[in-house]
Structures are given as C-alpha cells and as structure tokens.
A = this chain, B = another copy of it.
Amino acid sequence: MRYYLGVDIGGTEIKLGIVNAEGEIEASSAIATEPEKGPEEAAERVWNWFEGQGPMTNEALSAGVACAGLIDRDKGKIITSPNLEGWEGTPLREIFTSRLSRPAVIENDATAAAYGEFRMGSGRGTLDFTCLTLGTGVGCGIVAGGKLQRGWQGHAGEIGHTIVMIDGPLCSCGSRGCLEALVGAGAIIDRAKRKLESSSGGDLEGIEPLTVKAIAAAASGGEGLAREVLEESGRYLGIGLCNIVHLLNPEVIAIGGGVAGAGDLILGPARKAVGEHVMHERLAGVRIIRAELGNEASLLGAALIASMESVKE
C-alpha cells in the first residue's frame, strides 16, 4: 500500500494524518504549533508523531504541508501568513523535505481543503467545484474542468479580498468592503455587537465570549437578534457566492470552516441571495452545500496533492 503524509499548520495547532492511496485517513492527530519556536522545531515534533506510526510512515512516498497565507510554491516558502509570525521567507518545503526524509510540497490551506473536498468530500462527482473556508479568514480553492486551479503565482482563490462593497467596512488587508470584512468571523461578531448596542438589551446580551458559535446557538433557539445577524451575514455571503457563480459557473459550492457551523442559518439566506442576484435562473442551479470533511480537509488535501505530484515525477 502507498501512503502519503498530510500536515496542516494552523496558528494554534498542527493537524497530522497518514492518508492511503484511496484517499482515506488511516491515522491522525494534532499537536501544538508554538510558532514562536520556529519551523525547524515544529517539523521535528511533526516527525516525532509520524515516526511513532511505524510501518505506514515508512512506506509513505511524500508529504503535503498546508498553511494559511500566500505561499510561494516554486521556492517552497511562506510569503506572508496571518498566524505564523516570523515564518515568512523560511524554506519551509526544504525543512519538511529534510526532516520527514521524503519530498514535501507546500500549499495554501484553503486550496488544500478544496482539493480534499473535491476528491473525497462535498465535491466528488463534479468537475467544476469551489470550496470556501469561512473562519477568521475567508479563502477558497477552485477546481475547474476537473483540475485544481492555482493561477500564475499560485495565489488563486483569495475570495476573502474580493471587493463587494466599494468604500465598505475596513478589512485586515487595508482595503474596504472585502468579502472577509463582511462575512469573516470578526465581521459577524462585530455585527452582533453593533446590533446589541443599538437594541434595548437583546438576546445576545451577556454572552461572553461572543463567538459565531454562540450566535448560531442563540439563533437556533429562536432568538431574533441572533437570527438577524446571521441573515444579514448570509446575504453578504450569498453576494460573494453569486460573484463566483458569474465568474466560474461551478456546479457545487461547498462552505467549510468554523462559520459554516451555523449551517442553514447562514447558508439559507446565502442561497436566497444567490437566487435573487444571478443574471439568469439557469445559474441558480448551483448547489450550495456544507463541506463534509471538517477540519481534516486541509491535511487530507495536502496529502492528496503530494500524491498527485509524486505521480507526475
């Protein structure tokens, strides 16, 4: 049996998995990232876990390493990453190739997640598929005509920084009216806070910390203010999806990431907005569904990308 190693480096934890040639995860775990200790130390601890898995690791042909941010795949470096401060410019691919003793590829986490979902989850059976990861950041990965799309420099899929509201709210990137500034977790929480302030004590009052999960729980319980927050957020999300539909015309758009946990409370209004804003009813045929692989999508996708690139060599 052939195996591939999958690594997904987040700001707080690194998810690890061993994936077989059928795309199934045979073993998985998570360890702390501790980014301040640097990538060499992290790679060392990653290897320690894989080494402990014995035979499967020994038979693994290659490794895929996913992380957030702009990745220079050619040079194997992180250009900029929101939650791996100090890792920019380090030769991440080289470090992992050396420490794991097999060829490693590095990949943007949303791109990896989309590929994982395409092969083993919500995108199976389609050729034109987009997968959004909706959390603090908003990213996506694009499969078109059955091929993963990366663009010229490898940065395709930065949907979070497409502008849907010119001169709208300020985004972390410095622009205004980016989709992330309207539907990222921070934007949803801010929306709830503003509604709380302008209402005479609402149903979200006193919830600490105020998270998207807490807002969704309140909305599930029928709380009006929480529902309003998710409806408004869903409408903005739907406009972002509508732009994907017009530009790429996918058959399926899957939504993953923490915010997707709000389920139909946010996807319902998003689907409604898509139906209202597409230029022709035919385009409303797109299926907007939840991603299926949860937080293992990126490590699985990274391992599958590594397996695909091994085949090429």
Q: How far is the CB of A183 from chain B (nearest CB, A)?
A: 12
CB nearest to A80 among chain B residues: B280
Task: Give CA–CA (A140, B155) in the complex, Å.
Answer: 20
A151 at the interface (CB under 8 A from B): yes
Query: Which of B147, B150, B248 sits near A156, CB closer than 8 Å?
Result: B248
Does A28 sit within 8 A of B, measured CB to CB? Answer: no
* Residue A153 at the chain B interface, CB threshold 8 Å: yes
- Chain B binder among A34-42, A51-59, A158-166, A203-211: A158-166
CB of A160 to closest CB in B, whole Å = 8
The CB with the most chain B CB atoms within 10 A, among A128, A145, A162, is that of A162
Interface centre among A80, A142, A175, A248 (most CB of B within 10 A): A248
The answer for the CA separation of A251 and B126 in the assembled complex, in Å, is: 27
Contact of A250 among B142, B152, B242, B282 (CB under 8 A): B152
Bound: A63/B154 CA distance, A: 36
Bound state CA distance, A276 and B175, in angstroms?
Answer: 8
User: At the interface, yes or no: A277 with Cβ under 8 Å from chain B?
Assistant: yes
CB interface residues, A 149-185, toward B, < 8 Å: 149-166, 168, 173, 175, 177
Known interface pairs A149-B144, A164-B163, A164-B164; A249-B280 also in contact (CB < 8 Å)? no
A213 interface residue, CB < 8 Å from B? no
B249 contacts A153, CB within 8 Å? yes
| A163 near B243: Cβ-Cβ < 8 Å | yes
Bound-complex Cα distance A101 to B225 (A) = 65
Q: Is A289 an interface residue (CB 8 A)?
A: no
CB-CB under 8 A from A162, the residues of chain B are: 242-243, 246-247
Pair A152/B166 contact, Cβ less than 8 Å: no
Specify which of B145, B152, B158 is in contact with A246 (CB 8 Å cutoff): B158
- Given A163-B164, A166-B177, 13 more pairs with CB closer than 8 A: A70-B280, A79-B280, A155-B246, A155-B249, A162-B247, A164-B165, A164-B166, A165-B166, A166-B236, A166-B239, A175-B276, A175-B279, A244-B247
Closest 5 interchain pairs by CB? Answer: A151-B249, A152-B251, A158-B246, A162-B243, A128-B152
